[in-house]
Structure 1
């Protein structure tokens, strides 16, 4: 059975009720207080224990209140038309005046004063006017906007505190020049003792951004270009230095214990490392230079960044669209 049903009562009146009010197909529960009758029907309120049970018959049903109203109105028109024709024929045969149906009864709403049903034809869309937002709706919208502004203000304060904290850590942390060779890199790893302060300086919301900040402290662009995750190129030939067993990776894992990424798995760290090494050519203005080459269609400028791919799916240089952002 569908959600709304039009029923006919013993007194000849019709009404729309939710299917929950029916008792079988021949009886219907009816509220004692019909003040908010239409609201109860449209909200499909469950019948209370003290409601009256009335005998009825089903005229039609639909899944929405409005559809049920239209169907019941159509059914009533057909019934009234048939009754009118029968009355007219009977009057012609017997020589008496035909009976005229004086009241069309569309889908109805019961009132508390009279238990008879009254039909109201739905207004056509052209007659409906948009009253605009009420004061309550405007006030609710303004409250939501103020709440969002307060949350944004709170986030900005948190961000400013974080920037101040990073600035303080940066001033207190020993910051060497990035190494441009393996020996210099190992010297920095040996001398860098304060991992907790280093973690605050490099930490970002994304693991990739955190590792990129970390790597730029330890390596120049030229040294970073000598590394890849596995070090293997086409044909599984050694073309670069492998980073996955390097001491710097172990050092980075230790630093991560002081950040929000302390539970990052080995695979997640490996994925971030590959992506960062894949984008090393973008360091020191490389991205802007390549973008300029694409715009001017200079083959030399574009070709300079197209380095061979490594065996683990990386590229020695970033071959992506230069206009794409590398933001986490």
Structure 2
């Protein structure tokens, strides 16, 4: 389906990067997975699945390893939330932009067709008027949000006056097996099946996309090549409603406490652009199907662990 198209995937050992490499191979594209300094050599919570192993690009000399490519998708992003507000901000700018300036400048010279920068809806905050759309001016309140906006502007400026189309994809929450333990559906699974005590942020909304759908939309954003910003978020549900539906589908009782972590704060509504990036092969998941996938894959993993122990 994508035969002859070549994708360079930066940050390929992250959760999204790992799965997008596999999906591109399934679609018959050529995949060049790489990692920059600071990223793990292999994924942390899932096995590497594509046929091509990630290459380390740590110095200018490493650039000679890379074969030609048409599209670039950048997942690289490091955080350290143990630091103070200002230290976090400096850390994220340095470890994600400044440290790899040799690589970004090299990419500018190569002028790929499209550069897809994975951003976040965390660039918006309670300061933004509702609903949030593509044209909304971001007003971040966190080091993560501020530095992500800096990255969007950096890449826009970097590729200015080149033929490369820069697309900033502002992603919401992604549900996946092997995702970070703080992701809501992962927490709900651990509570329902492992009796882990959790606290659900009552009265607030989560906009969750399943990883397979998110990956297909990201790939399509590279193929469409319309420069600009896109909001990629799932439908919004109250956290307590998601929790209730998880109980119903799992036939389990959560070990959960419900608290409002942000009293008086109204969550922004989002006008998602996901329908603009759909194609005939884009996968789609409802809330129920996401929950069912999370349960099925986690139980399968637990069964494999028990069998091998």
TM-score, normalising length: structure 1: 0.28
Q: Whose strand proportion is higher, 1 or 2?
A: 2
User: Higher relative contact order by CA 8 Å / sep ≥ 6: 1 or 2?
Assistant: 2
Q: Whose helix proportion is higher, 1 or 2?
A: 1
TM-score, normalising length: structure 2: 0.30
